[in-house]
């Protein structure tokens, strides 16, 4: 049997928001079983926002959660780290409306989780097991979830840039592959789009220190961490976004030219679909509710 896991100790960090450009302090704390991941805005009297698809508010260039007019954005890399490191329950205290971008990848969050330590709790881990395929499609972009006994991702991206063009990667997701192959992959953007984004109040904190910045023919950064770092980062994004379904998945996830909207639409569909059963880690069917977070008021 696999047990739910939380952090052993609290740990904190600071950085800047990728889109806001503002300084952020963040603290990761242990949480009881069945809490899930909860964001706590300490600058707003401790207001809490569960990391659940019911709370998705915006998906333009990042995933934003919100409730009662308060938000926390760019949650996907941190959520991906919790997901990849099998941390089910934690409270994220944050003093601003955006998770710090750090170096643009999930590697700094993996480091924090390792430093804090993770411990088993006295309740079985539950999973979503797919019983029939699901698909969300928008024009030539789509995401599918197929039956599988392990979590596996196949992702394809296509951009008209000499460093990218079309990249496809299939990878099983476990702690080892996540830490070595997915977590270090950084977010990326195009220099030609920067000015338009900043006019919209986005990418105000972006730089070569926290993103791969692509010029017309090359990256402005010194080196890529992987030759296909771009598709690896998209796998990080989809793991973080699909964690909003509430439970870890036993499924093969296939994505073609995806983004946060497709990812989170699939998380919502999983959360509401009869195509998935919640199962205990022992493999027995569970009659528990399919969502860890309570419904919105």
Q: What's the token pair of residue 42?
A: 């300490």
Q: Whose CA is closest to 292, among 44, 133, 55? A: 55
Dist CA 77 CA 240 (whole Å):
6
Identify whether the C-beta of residue 290 lies closer than 8 Å to the C-beta of residue 246.
yes
DSSP three-state, residue 142: strand
Q: Which residue has the tokens 């992702």?
A: 155
Dist CA 152 CA 182 (whole Å):
12
What count of other Cβ atoms lies within 10 Å of the Cβ of residue 132? Answer: 11
DSSP label at residue 2: P
Q: What's the token pair of residue 35?
A: 């809490």
Catalytic residue among 19, 233, 252, 260: 260
Q: What's the token pair of residue 266?
A: 């699939």
H-only helix segments in the chain: 76-84, 107-116, 175-177, 191-199, 229-242, 260-272
Burial of 296 by CB count in 10 Å (0-12 exposed, 13-18 middle, 19+ buried)?
A: exposed
Is-catalytic flag, 256?
Answer: no
Q: Whose CA is closest to 206, among 14, 37, 69, 74? A: 74
Cα dist from 281 to 1, 123, 258, 276, 286, whole Å: 5, 10, 30, 15, 10
DSSP three-state, residue 256: strand
Phi, psi of 183 (to 5 degrees): -55, -40
The catalytic site residues sit at 260
């Amino acid at each position: 049997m696999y047990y739910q896991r939380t952090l052993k100790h609290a740990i904190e960090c600071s950085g800047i928001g990728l889109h806001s450009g503002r300084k952020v302090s963040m603290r990761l704390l242990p949480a009881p079983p069945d809490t899930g991941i909860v964001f706590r805005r300490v600058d707003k009297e401790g207001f809490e926002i569960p990391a659940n698809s019911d709370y998705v508010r915006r998906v333009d260039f990042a995933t934003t959660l919100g409730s009662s007019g308060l938000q926390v954005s760019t949650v996907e890399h941190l959520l991906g780290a919790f997901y990849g490191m099998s941390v089910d329950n934690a409270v994220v205290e944050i003093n601003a409306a955006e998770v710090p971008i750090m170096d643009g990848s999930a590697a700094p969050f993996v480091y924090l989780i390792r430093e804090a330590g993770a411990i088993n709790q006295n309740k079985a881990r539950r999973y979503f097991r797919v019983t029939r395929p699901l698909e969300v499609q928008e024009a030539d972009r789509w995401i599918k979830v197929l039956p599988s006994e392990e979590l596996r991702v196949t992702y394809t991206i296509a951009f008209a840039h000499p460093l990218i063009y079309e990249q496809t990667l299939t990878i099983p997701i476990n702690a080892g592959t996540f830490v070595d192959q997915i977590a270090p992959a950084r977010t990326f953007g195009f220099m030609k789009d920067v000015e338009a984004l900043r006019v919209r109040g986005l990418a105000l904190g972006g730089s070569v220190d926290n993103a791969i910045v692509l010029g017309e023919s090359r990256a402005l950064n010194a080196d890529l961490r992987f030759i296909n770092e771009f598709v690896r980062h998209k796998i990080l994004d989809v793991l973080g976004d699909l964690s909003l379904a509430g439970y870890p998945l036993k499924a093969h996830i296939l994505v073609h030219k995806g983004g946060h909207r497709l990812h989170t639409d699939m998380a919502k569909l999983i959360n509401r679909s009869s195509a998935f059963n919640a199962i205990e880690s022992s493999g027995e069917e569970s009659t528990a509710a399919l969502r860890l977070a309570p419904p919105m008021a």
